[in-house]
Structure 1
Amino acid sequence: MTLQLGIIGTNWITKMFVEAAHITGDYQLKAVYSRRMESGQTFADNFSGDIEVYTDVNDMLTSGIDVVYIASPNSLHFIQAAIAIRNGVHVIVEKSAVANTNEFEQLYSLLREHPQVRFFEAARHIQQDNFKALETCVNSMEHISGATFVYEKYSSRFDAYLAGEEPNVLSPKFAAGALADLGVYPLYAAIKLFGLPNSQHYFATKLRNGGDGRGVAILRYQDFDVTLIFGKGANSYLHSEVLGLRDTILISNIAELEEVKYNDGQGQEKVISKPGPANPMVDEAATFARLINQPSETEAEYQDLLLLSQRVNHVLTALRMDAGIVFPNDKK
């Protein structure tokens, strides 16, 4: 079934997702929500077809669409996802899905009340073939000694921050910052590959607004540690690694996964990745459509994915609390 798609948010990532969704052939954009009619219409004009533009989110979510993609500020994800679920609309929400564990558990309860609705966090990298090759390689290693995952790149909005402004993506008022925006990528990889840690600690470099501009998180497992390095105020070109004994997996970028190599430590190195699609969101869009359109056949796969999102949110919240970073959503 071709899914009738609505979107919340009209930025570059939303355009990339809609393009990816159309490439799969499983979706058709039918509705756009924006606070301003002009910006919504400008976005809709990028695509062909009969597309309605709304300035009331409730009107869009009751317009008959099948699924909504949410790419609004993080602080709004919970309420918008909750409205969608109550109206029987499937949800694809950009990471971080919600601000804290309380919000996630409320959505979990709503999903139990509306079992026909499916909820996905758009952690695109774990749906890519190169991540699956990485996972297979990790599972084949005889021993894990540790891992370091790096994702640090200079934000397009950091100049504005340095000039005295407070962009949404760097503001705790909008449940944002380095951990919530970029740290979630290496965190997803770590929990998907190794499960929940025994403990977690976050050493954040604070911004003047009390949020985090960069940081280092340590996930402690029974026999090894995983170090996550991420930030929005600098560019890092470090590779990510999974350490065995002699052997090592080298990853060009834990979020983009352009190249993944296995080095046996004895003179042999093998590239285990393949060139991915030009649009990195195609794989996740196709996966979500399959899970929506084949609910009976994919129930176990969907529940595993939902559990993974719950675990990521749990550790994400614990890391933020460890660093003393408070969001307004925490007080609700």
Structure 2
Amino acid sequence: MKPVVDVPPLPAKYFREEKKGPSYKQQARIEEGISIEEMLDKFGETEIKLSQKELLAMAPKLREALKDLLSKRRVPTGENNAFKASIEEDTKNEWLYTNVEDLGKAKKVQTVARDKGGELVEVWEVEEPLTQYLTTLPPDKRDRLVFTVETAEIKSAGNMGQLRVIPAVINGVREEEALLDSGSQIVTMSREAASDCKIPWDPSLAINMQSANGSITRTCGLAKNVPFIFGNITVYLQVHVIEEAPYRVLLGRPFDVITESKVVNSSSGQQFITITDPNTKEWASLATYDKGELPKTMETNF
């Protein structure tokens, strides 16, 4: 009988397959040879000259690069090296950019509001996409959200002196000079004008807005269902109150939607705006004026 000898098993060998990166990536031919970093350097100069190829290639990536470039970072104020780790951007406080134009268009909806006598009546108002979107967000995300302006609004902001104004009795208190700006997606009012018109606003619906020069400012809040009287026509608008503004009142697209406004130029050089009452369907034509040239009227106290 042969002796039995225990032979220990050979140690197992494990082979780990090294992870390899993807062999291919999605890239358009127009993106070949284009450096986003070089494009940003050009973009930061006072004057830039880009070829159409460069512009088309960098468009999808430029937003992310610009967001990183413009985001605030915590930077140590002294020589203490213990704070160097804080230089990296805190992603919790990162801005979330949203173009107001991407939220949809303003539309008319029927609701209930109080008339001059305090009675509840059915009226038409503008359902503003920005406000509707804001109410669906939690407070932490709402505070980090920045609404960017559209190209048309940037253009009109730079040529505000060319915009026309009309008179508007606001909240039944006083007449204000209202600036007509179809390039703006919202209706806004300075805090001073809102206070003078005795208009309350909801500070929980304040928003961060990126202005034409790229700076970010926070509004005071939203005033809901504010009555605006134009001649014999009354409309109710949602108004964003701004701490400082180069105007008293600005009527953006929601005003155009609710009144179905039409601008008419006469052969004598005058400009008129025709608006329609959304409730009675009555029409009214109002003369427009240069900013600062609106005829003064007596203040009304109700």
Q: TM-score, normalised by structure 1?
A: 0.25
More strand by share: 2
Higher relative contact order (CA 8 A, sep 6+): 1
- Structure number with larger C-alpha Rg: 2
Q: TM-score, normalised by structure 2?
A: 0.27
